[in-house]
Structure 1
Amino acid sequence: MGSMEQLEIKETKIQVRHHNVITNARHELSAVQLDIYFMMLSRLKPGDSKDTKYIISVKEIEELTGRQWNYQQLREATAGLIGKVFEIEEEDGLLQVAMMSSAKYLKGQGRIQLSIAEDLKPYLVDLKNNFTSFQLFCVLSMTSKYAKWLYVQFSRWKDLGAMTFEVEQLRYRLNLKDPSGKAPEQYKQWGQFKDYVLEPAIRQINEVSDLRVAYAVTEKKGKSIHKLTFTIKMVSHVQTVIPFESEELDREAAQLKGRLRDIGILDTNLINKILNSTELRKKANKCLYDISLRRKDIINPGGYFRTTLGI
């Protein structure tokens, strides 16, 4: 099954649900970290236990985003996520919690196994009535980390149609301003902030998402811009639908099928024979891993695969 066929399996739009308290938290994440984080969120299900592991496919991220991340970039990104701290205001105090507790790169599979910090999981899994939903495909299609974060905010308020931010509050949330004052403020001048952060982000949201956003200055203090009001409209947006909710075995089968076709194994009967046998799947994955390590030495990967498996 080709990548486009895989992307068209589902007929309903898959949404990621994001707890409002997490949405409000201030954090600094790179584009690749946001991609990994949103993919991880798509795997969450109500009733997940504290020991649940979440597996994401590097190839799937690349297909959705149109960007390629090398191993070192991914490794640095997940290490950074483990070290990132969410600060969440709770009723009885301030909670500081790591947003991810571990990441394991599954050898030869192009997949990452992630686990979520136990203290954070109630905010992500036990969603109940206090959550924000947004379409993962839209977020992953955005290249600007500011667009990603703003889209999450706008999704919270889309039913009301408007939201107001103080400019200083917005700078703080976008991590352009260090509350401790230790780091220099980025895009300090209004013109810089508007030209390099705000308008490019809104333009990208309007181009690739199901929202149409505009803004107006609604309050000044002297000559300084103090408050912005954003108007938010939902539109019918035709987009590729992503099969995030397929069962894990189905995802593995689709990935294995794609890897077999990459080495020239196109016989449908042979592919189905492998997919329907747990033992053959294990042998196939091991052989494909060997091929990836010895790519330069193996002239005919398809022939090597058939010979190794004896089929």
Structure 2
Amino acid sequence: MTTELANVVKANALVESSYRLGVMEQRIILSCLAQLRKDDVITDETFYTVSARDIGQLTETDSKSLYSELAAATQRLRRKDVIMHLAPNTGEKLRTRLETSWVQSCIYVESEGVVKLRFARDMVPYLSELQRQFTSYPLAEVIRMTSAHAIRLFELLMQYSSIGKRDISVDDFRTWFQLEDSYPLTSDLRRKIVEPAVAQINEYSSLVCKMEPVKSGRKVTHFRFSFATRKGASLKGGSKGKGKGKGQVDEVPELPLSRKLTEADIQRYALPGETWEAAKRRLQSKMDRQGSLL
């Protein structure tokens, strides 16, 4: 499967739906979607195949544990649902929300180390024959992320890629990520979910992103994301049906050092929107891998 350079295409209604998938479950779904074109005609009888070898190549991971992880994710995926609030292609609000499974069937073939799946019938209109109100981006932008929340946030930002800014209400964020009953304090939601997701987008994708909370009085009501394509990067994709305009920022410089990481280094080389601890982990990890950051 040669999907690394292929685009993932989703109806905007699916991007703004409510669901929770784990990282491996996301990788399975996205690897299948990367095999489609937005104008393809598919049915719920169409099978798609993803192998552990495919995942390993795309994530640059050489681990035997991928096979067991893929098998476990296959079992979980059968039980995962998604709640649609909007109609495909038009983006109009549904009178009654649609709750559907992701897949009609999902099989792990242990002897081959592959997953074979068919999308659920109600899911097909959100994946097939998309003429408007859709978002696309290269699979390679998200496949190495280790946070499912980061993948979702990246998609939500790509809806507004031509604008470079998006405000997401705290309520919508909780609904879309199915976190209504988690992290009742917005400060905890920001610290444990939003900021780590922004850090991963900065680390793994071609976007440079920062987030700032927006208050109404003393209450945080929205998260404001400002983002642009990293200078020198080529990010082919975007959204049809969202605003206009675009931006680009300079690349974050490499750390020219082969010594102990200092507070000054972390402050200087932290990415926009990255927490102190996230920046420290990222920079220290890079030093450990390379022996230096030259």
Please give the TM-score of this superposition, normalised by the length of structure 2: 0.69
Greater fraction helix: 1
Which residue identity is paired with 2:41? G
Q: Could you list the per-position Cα deviations for residues 167-193 of structure 1 after superposition, in whole angstroms to 9, with x for gaps in the alignment?
A: 232133222223xxxxxx23x334433
Structure-2 residue corresponding to 1:111: 114
User: Which has the greater radius of gyration?
Assistant: 1
2:178 aligned counterpart, secondary structure = coil
User: Residues 23, 237 of structure 1: CA spacing in aligned structure 2 closer, same or farther, 3 A cutoff?
Assistant: farther
The range that moved more, 82-91 or 156-165, is: 82-91
Structure-1 residue corresponding to 2:223: 228
Q: 1:86 aligns with which of 82, 86, 95?
A: 82
Structure-1 residue corresponding to 2:55: 61
**Contact map agreement 2:14 2:126 (CA 8 A) in 1:** yes
**CA distance in 2: counterparts of 1:215 and 1:72, whole angstroms:** 36
Deviation at residue 238 of structure 1 after TM alignment: 5.0
**CA distance in 2: counterparts of 1:72 and 1:210, whole angstroms:** 30
State percent identity of aligned pairs.
24
Which residue identity is paired with 1:34? Q
Q: 2:23 aligns with which of 26, 31, 48?
A: 31
Q: Could you list the per-position Cα deviations for residues 20-48 of structure 1 after superposition, in whole angstroms to 9, with x for gaps in the alignment?
A: 11111111111111111111111224123
User: Residues 189, 92 of structure 1: CA spacing in aligned structure 2 closer, same or farther, 3 A cutoff?
Assistant: closer
The count of corresponding residues between Structure 1 and Structure 2 is 224
**CA distance in 1: counterparts of 2:43 and 2:176, whole angstroms:** 31
Please give the TM-score of this superposition, normalised by the length of structure 1: 0.65
Which residue identity is paired with 2:79? G
Matches within 5 A, 1:211-222: 211-222=207-218
Structure-1 residue corresponding to 2:10: 18
Structure 2 unmatched runs, 5+:
88-93, 235-294
**Contact map agreement 2:150 2:198 (CA 8 A) in 1:** yes
Deviation at residue 109 of structure 1 after TM alignment: 2.0
Structure-2 residue corresponding to 1:252: none
Deviation at residue 148 of structure 1 after TM alignment: 0.7
User: Residues 225, 81 of structure 1: CA spacing in aligned structure 2 closer, same or farther, 3 A cutoff?
Assistant: same
**CA distance in 2: counterparts of 1:217 and 1:234, whole angstroms:** 22
Deviation at residue 146 of structure 1 after TM alignment: 1.2
Greater fraction strand: 2
Structure 1 unmatched runs, 5+:
1-5, 179-184, 240-311
User: Residues 15, 237 of structure 1: CA spacing in aligned structure 2 closer, same or farther, 3 A cutoff?
Assistant: farther
Which residue identity is paired with 1:141? R
**Contact map agreement 2:74 2:108 (CA 8 A) in 1:** no
The range that moved more, 130-139 or 66-75, is: 66-75
1:102 aligned to 2:105? yes
Q: 1:208 aligns with which of 190, 195, 204?
A: 204
1:196 aligned to 2:192? yes
**Contact map agreement 2:150 2:197 (CA 8 A) in 1:** yes
Matches within 5 A, 1:1-311: 13-45=5-37, 46-67=40-61, 68=63, 69-89=65-85, 90=87, 91-178=94-181, 185-186=182-183, 188-222=184-218, 224-236=219-231
**Contact map agreement 1:15 1:135 (CA 8 A) in 2:** yes
**Contact map agreement 1:157 1:232 (CA 8 A) in 2:** no
Which residue identity is paired with 1:94? R
